[in-house]
Structure 1
Amino acid sequence: MPQIFLKQFIKFQPPMNNKNLRKRGIVLPIVIVFMLISQVVYWGILHLNQLNSQQYLQFQSYYQDEIQHVMIEDILNDVTFLSTKSLENKVLSDLSIQHEVMKNRLNIIEWGLEENQVGWATLLSHNENEERIIIYRHSLYINDDSQDNCRLFETIYCEGVLNKNGTYSPFPLDNNKLNNQVFMTLKNQLINVGFILEQQVQRNAIKNWIFEGLPQTLFTFNTGSILLTNQITRYQLSSQLKQSNFKRSKSKQIEHTQFLIIWQGEIYSKNN
């Protein structure tokens, strides 16, 4: 009896056609491909998140280090103010030397006005009936990169810019409140009372000055440190953060000033 039932079951089992077999063969590769694509997308998202995290940490380190450098810039700006005073003392010294050289070449009897950059004096005359007077001005021209110092000078007036090729360019006349106005006033006064220009004398001198700057210094902060080294013409700033491997080097030029001093005198004479 069981054998008869089995024969009947096999006899009435519906046959599988080729179409169903093809469907089953397509589904499996699709599932495998979908799983592979999903895995690749997942890995891509993980990698992108990792890159974004690294980029965020780099930005964070950069701005932390930038804050350190801003604080150092403030310190260097204070030093620059000291350098301006040092430059002013250097210029005053050279003005004095230049002035003494020209004074020694003249036969001065009496000073009417003797200042750092403008003045006049009575000169010796071999003719008793002749009166001789010299008026002078001391003009200062500074290279363009150092022009900001002119605003901070307390006793010196800059008259223009010293160009890189050795020539110089005066400021507009309206700005020359010390040298030109006083000098031209003295000149016009002499001409109005009958003095005639007899001779012009001039002496030029180009000087160089480099600020000594700070010695090697280590600046420490809560976030890291900056090592400042003096390389004569530039500062080298090497920074490092405590909580990361971020390192950076920057440089800042130490102030180097070149200036031109022109001592210009005009000798006037008048017969009494």
Structure 2
Amino acid sequence: MAKRPAEIQAANVKLLEELCQPGDFLPAWLRAAVVRETFKATATCPSCREIQADRGNVLKRDLWNVVGCAKCTFHEPEECYGLGVVVHALCNLQNLMSEEWYHQAAEHVFKCLSATDKIPDTPDDRNARLAELIAVVGLAVGIRAFYRSLPEGLLEEPPIPAAMKGEPRFSSAAEVFKRLAPQEGHGWGVGLAIDDLKPGLMVNGAKFVGEEFSKRKFTPVSPMNKWAPALSTGGSFLRWCSVLYSPIQHGYETHNFMFKKAPGRALNRVGLEDVAAGYTTAIGCSF
């Protein structure tokens, strides 16, 4: 990193600007408020810290109620416009989340947003808005953690931009589906789960058995799949990680990319994943 401070700083500034711009389903002013709340609440909210300290007695299926009753300290108006309980859980309590929490969060986000705007009442629309909110919080947490991990004076943390004017790009999930015309050779989909693999599976004309896949450590979802529901925010993440993390374009998404260093990088993808695994294990990250 020491050889690329200007490039890294520019990428972080650009990502922070894009997080405060209109998204696919969230307006700019709300995304900016979420970013500000995330920066101020991550690892500092007294109530969230108390929940973490007593996490052994917190049932994951009850996390939503636990956070709701915790009287968290919010920094944005109206408890971050009603979304503060979701933001605080995402930035401070990832290790305590469960499927139940995500269902409850999707309902809550829909309730808050539909109070001021007409939103289609469909599962796709609820999940899409929650996915974008998660993406914004996740990237804001990453930027905050990056600067707080640096030696003092190495890079100056960029200020959070003022919210830009602008409405979301789409009004409904159905509108997105209509605009995303099929492209030959491209597609969206989940990864492979080991339990679903059967002996004799055909892959690119060659036979593999489940054991062969397990040796390659395939997982049910890949890092890129996690960003797929958040279209434009996921695009921002891909551009950012090509500077700070590791390039994924221009041939570096191939199998050999895992074991060769990208131009100007000290680690290959395997080395980067080892570092990431240590970091996420230490903080209980589930993004």
TM-score, structure 1 as length reference:
0.18
Which structure shows the bigger proportion of residues in helix conformation?
2
Which structure shows the bigger proportion of residues in strand conformation?
1
Query: Of the two, which has the highest radius of gyration?
Result: 1
